[in-house]
Chain A
């Protein structure tokens, strides 16, 4: 009886063990199939996210703000006339520009930046870059012509430390054509080039210049380029020189022989002198148009002037990046700019501007800028040319927000 009991216990124990093994197995199978199901879903999700050879992203920027200004115009021999204005849009600087970047593999990049300026929708650039070989990027389409540093590298609202743009750096602007650029090591130093062949500039009846656009106004093309040297191994200093040549007269017009030559020099120095990050930037541009005879819009008489324009800016900014407190988000900036257009033309002036700025960086690409700008423009125009002589002083206060997204 006792024995039977023992066997019974044994059998019971074995049955229990078998049962528990089975239930573990069953649990495991349920766990396995749940896991497999989850993995299958994840695999699907990864497959959906798999980048492939192409990549598309949207970046871009927006700048908006408020400007309050007081303009005093003093005509020769009379009292100054004051006009005050304030605008929430800051029409000169408002911008919303999404930028589309399409990358195909490792060698092709298409960039397209439409832009709304508060009134119109335009295009800042639309071009394709082919990374052909080490030190050779070929780009074609509509792009910022390589000349100096401001237009191509510093003009974006979230990059510029002051609310406005320095005057007189609009040319050579953005144009249609083809370009080549690249950078190379040179021992401890580095150098770079950026050249382009584009449709070029167009000389207007009053002697001013603008971009000819996609349909060229003559057979000649514009050759522009910049070469730079970074003499220190830490890339803190860059010195650049630029040159440009373009036929500018409309084919078949009185200006057929008109040529434009531009020269430029620029400097960029960025270095930390603990606890401050110091930023020095500057550029000088000179534009020469070969002598032409212009027709007066006032009395149709013929006249001529020395069509030479120069512009320059020098800027310094300091940011206490080494500080532990919120102070490290502040940056102080100052810029002097000068713009001298031809005396005796309809648009002759001698313009100076001082800009003082205090910026607050909300992130590396988001900034709130307070800028006080003070400008003085003495007209050097001639009345025969259609100009208005006088002195214009403008004081402006900007509160501007800009973000790269």
Chain B
């Protein structure tokens, strides 16, 4: 019984957390200033937060797509930031 209780509590916590996140997510929006940022600007602002900024020539088209997803897992970039930065790096 105790086992089930602990487990149920764990799940309630997780579902609760996801619900809260979903709620905040739906109420979030970027304003015009942020939406107007170019891939180059987002690249310059975000990549240096952890390490030196790589130049577009460092990797190929396909490699940037892979690295972009990988960096999203490290930096929690928003999806728009990720897509714009990848598009810039692929040029």
**Residues in chain A within 8 A of chain B (CB atoms):** 51, 55, 57, 59, 101, 103, 106, 109, 111, 129, 131, 134-135, 137, 139, 152-154, 156, 158-159, 180-188, 190-195, 197, 219-221, 223, 225, 228, 233-236, 238, 268, 270, 277, 361, 364-365
Contact = CB atoms under 8 A, between A and B. Distances in A.
A101 B54 contact: no
B53 A197 contact: no
A365 B52 contact: yes
Contacts of B66: 55, 57, 101, 103, 109
A183 B81 contact: yes
Nearest to B34: A185
A270 B76 contact: no
Contacts of B1: none
A115 B67 CA distance: 20
A192 B63 CA distance: 25
Nearest to A160: B51
A95 B73 CA distance: 23
A154 B74 CA distance: 10
Interface residues of B, number: 46
Given A103-B69, A137-B72, A197 B14 contact: yes
B48 interface: yes
A193 B21 contact: yes
A180 B65 CA distance: 21
A153 B25 contact: no
Contacts of B21: 135, 180, 182, 193
B18 interface: yes
Contacts of A238: 49
Contacts, number: 120
A131 B58 contact: no
A318 to B, nearest CB: 14
A197 B17 CA distance: 12
B38 to A, nearest CB: 13
A184 B55 CA distance: 25
B6 A153 contact: no
A220 B2 CA distance: 11
A233 B77 CA distance: 13
5 contacts: A103-B66, A159-B51, A185-B80, A193-B21, A268-B49
B63 A55 contact: yes
Q: Give the top 4 A-B pairs by smallest Cβ distance, nearest first.
A: A185-B30, A192-B76, A183-B76, A364-B52
B49 A139 contact: no
Nearest to A146: B76
A185 B77 CA distance: 9
Contacts of A137: 72-73
B3 A180 contact: no
Contacts of A219: 3, 6-7
B77 A188 contact: no
Q: Which of A184, A188, A270, A361 has the most CB of B within 10 A?
A: A184
A354 B77 CA distance: 33
A223 B33 contact: no
Contacts of A193: 21, 76
Contact of A55 (B14, B62, B74, B77): B62
A149 B29 CA distance: 26
A54 to B, nearest CB: 10
B49 A233 contact: no
A185 B65 contact: no
B51 A365 contact: yes
B10 A197 contact: yes
A315 to B, nearest CB: 13
Contacts of A106: 65, 69
B45 A185 contact: no
Nearest to A193: B21
A319 to B, nearest CB: 9
Contact of A236 (B25, B45, B61, B70): B45
Contact of B34 (A180, A188, A191, A225): A188
